[in-house]
Structure 1
Amino acid sequence: MPTTALEIRPAVPDDLADVARIYAHYVEHTLATFDTEPPTLETWHDKHAALTRAGWPFLVATGPLADDDAPHVLGFAYTGQYRPKAAYGRTVEETIYLDPAATGQGLGGRLLDAVLDGARDAGAREVIAVIADGPDPDDPAGTVARTPSATLHERHGFGAAGRLEDVGHKHGRWVAVTLYQRSLRPPA
């Protein structure tokens, strides 16, 4: 994927069918989300409208995919208030997903940086990422599988802030989550 053709921009309603398609892959085939059924396109429109109305960033990365030079939505990222109580008003949860065909090319880092910049500009102070993991299915000892998402977030300044064991059940197994946190406050 040539980096000159990549564009990261605010999502518009016409992008949301691709957002839904990308996310559906992760719902159906991975533990990356605890959704067990893909949200409807209407749900994505509602989420997009609510987040943008609240002033939080909802971004897409577009560019060529494989041998097709036409622009495609290659990934998306957004932030929204971490929890609904007023005191959490400047703490956001960040979400990022890439089209499986666009992984491993540095796109995740660029999209993550852009959404963090947007969150900072919108007034966020702290960012939380909730990253699912679980026993490595290829290891009978049950060691925790390292996820690309955890690696991405650590490379971009997030640190593990806590772990919740066996809080989800999906695809026939129990899944833990690790909470990662990054401050957007300027250095002292």
Structure 2
Amino acid sequence: MTAATLTAPEIRASRDDDIPAITAIYGEAVRHGTGSFELAPPGEDEMAARRAALLAAGYPHIVALRDGAVIGFAYAGAYRPRPAYAGTVESSVYVSADTRGGGVGRALLSQLVAECAARDFRQMVAVIGDSANRASIALHEAMGFTLVGTFRSVGWKHGRWLDTVLMQRALGLGDGQPPGPAKQGLK
């Protein structure tokens, strides 16, 4: 089956029972890819803890499903911990190896952008591992992200130096006016 013949995936909020599939998808990306600079795949307990921390802090964590099986996941988290950055999120998108190129990443990123805008976040930053990761860069460009810059040779993985590409897009009202009080650190 080609990517063009696949149906759009279902996108929904992640659940506790999605953790095994999320862990497997991320583990493959860590072991074989350059999108994550982690060197050893975390286990299910760690992935569950990461998800719980994001949800507790009010960030979205979503999955893509096809025929009831999780085939990708995405989430947003704090770009930086200081309060002045509260209106800015960093995106992460991971898709199972056998479904890449079939629109799953686009569906996930589109929903992630919408959910972050609905939560009054104003900027989204993508920190893309490896400047040779053309598919991720193209996906982000197609979703309205612009290139901010490239950090050269900042990570060592798979026996070579890797770059980090920074991309950014506005969400909702962007920088047209200040974020709401919660995003200003004024609860």
In the alignment, structure 1 residue 9 sits paired with structure 2 residue 12: yes
Structure 2 counterparts to residues 27-42 of structure 1, below 5 A: 27-42=30-45
Structure-2-length-normalised TM-score = 0.87
Moved over 3 A (4+): 185-188
Structure-1-length-normalised TM-score = 0.86
**Matched position secondary structure for 1:124:** coil
For residues 37-60 of structure 1, the C-alpha deviation after alignment (integer angstroms, 9 at most, x for no partner) is 001211111111111111111000
Higher RCO, Cα 8 Å, sep 6+: 2
For residues 58-112 of structure 1, the C-alpha deviation after alignment (integer angstroms, 9 at most, x for no partner) is 0000113xxxxxx110100000110111111010000000001111111111111
Matches of 1:97 and 1:37 in 2, distance apart? 16
Displacement of 1:185 in angstroms is 3.3
Q: Percent identity, please.
A: 38
Structure 1 residues not aligned, in runs of 5+: 65-70, 135-144
In the alignment, structure 1 residue 151 sits paired with structure 2 residue 138: yes
Displacement of 1:186 in angstroms is 3.5
Q: Tell me what 2:183 maps to.
A: none
Displacement of 1:130 in angstroms is 0.5
Question: How well do the aligned residues superpose, as a CA RMSD in angstroms?
Answer: 1.5
Matches of 2:133 and 2:101 in 1, distance apart? 15
Displacement of 1:2 in angstroms is 4.2
Matches of 1:167 and 1:106 in 2, distance apart? 29
Matches of 2:137 and 2:23 in 1, distance apart? 23
Aligned length: 171
Residue pair 2:20, 2:44 contacting (<8 A) in 1 also = yes
Q: Tell me what 2:80 maps to.
A: 83
Q: Tell me what 2:94 maps to.
A: 97
**Matched position secondary structure for 1:3:** coil
Displacement of 1:146 in angstroms is 4.8
Structure 2 counterparts to residues 28-177 of structure 1, below 5 A: 28-64=31-67, 71-134=68-131, 145-177=132-164
Matches of 1:124 and 1:107 in 2, distance apart? 23
Structure 2 residues not aligned, in runs of 5+: 177-187
Matches of 1:57 and 1:122 in 2, distance apart? 9
**Matched position secondary structure for 1:84:** coil
